[in-house]
Amino acid sequence: MPAKAPPGLTLLEGREALREWSAEIPDGTSLGFVPTMGSLHEGHLSLARQAASTCSKAVVSIFVNPLQFGDPEDFSRYPRDPLADCALLADAAVDAVYLPAAADMEASIRRRPAEGPAAERWEAEFRPGHCEGMLTVVGEFFRQVGATHAFFGEKDAQQLFLVREMAAASFPGLEVVSCPTVREPDGLALSSRNARLTADDRKLALALPESLAVLAGGWEGGERGIAVLEEILAASLKREGVQVDYASLVDDPTFHPAGPSLSGPWRACVAARVGGVRLIDNLLLGGP
């Protein structure tokens, strides 16, 4: 834990501190909230900056959520650096960082995704319990923080879809704002997990953005057959050393598998393991 907050940043260590800080905020003030698991990079910071620039107050949480990791090893190896994170958040002009203790996040309500493919397929299929664990903790944060706006990265598109569904059903006053994926100059989406890639695996990881770029090329060339587009995506993603979990086109508004009865736009979603590191990425076809 950071011993002292950097100038301009209020450290909220535990739920009581959050309560006291929130009580000082006048009614009617817009409050932006960004949940993170820390080990912050430019992707997280783009969300934090957007929260700080669009809301009167902004708070970022750092909590490595054990409920959303199926594999205890993955949880224990998840990178943690709260000191560096707080310095970055102070630079991003957020007002406060919420660092709950594990006991603060023991949720009284277990949240499940609404029925449908987003509850069962893709991340839900390959990471059993992940979506429930993520929604349970994000829902608990929403309850505790009482924000007017919550900021999520488009990089985790299925998460964003599920959070929007939960917010619409259970947090009617909350606006969920999506923020574009921040990438390295070579196209790899920033992720806290990238730090665990060896130099060789870092090159192999480019299979994810490259396969999406190949797909975009097919789309821009006029290809509209869903099966053909999925084949283009899968063929480009498949390489020695890249273990593909899925490479699918989904209907962006509903997160159902893309199909003739739906009108799109389609989002291509990929997930693969490279040297034991699981990476995801996605692209909206025909998007900006």
**Interface residues with ligand AMP (CB under 6 A)?**
36-37, 43-44, 46-47, 152-153, 155-156, 179, 181-182, 189-192
Nearer to ligand AMP, 141 or 152 (CB): 152
Tokens of 214: 């190949």
* Strand order, beta sheet including 242-251: 256-257, 242-251, 266-274, 277-284
Nearer to ligand AMP, 195 or 235 (CB): 195
The residue written with tokens 């783009």 in the block is: 46
Count the alpha carbons within 13 Å of 14 in the hemisphere toward its beta carbon.
3
Q: CB of 180: closest distance to ligand AMP in angstroms?
A: 7
228 Cβ neighbours under 8 A, 6+ residues apart: 218
Active site residues: 44
Q: Determine which helix (DSSP H) or strand (DSSP E) holds 199, and give its type and residue range.
A: helix 199-204
Cα 231 from chain centroid?
A: 26
Q: CB of 183: closest distance to ligand AMP in angstroms?
A: 7
213 Cβ neighbours under 8 A, 6+ residues apart: 187
Count the alpha carbons within 13 Å of 217 in the hemisphere toward its beta carbon.
9
Q: CB of 274: closest distance to ligand AMP in angstroms?
A: 16
Nearer to ligand AMP, 90 or 182 (CB): 182
Nearer to ligand AMP, 34 or 215 (CB): 34
Q: CB of 109: closest distance to ligand AMP in angstroms?
A: 20
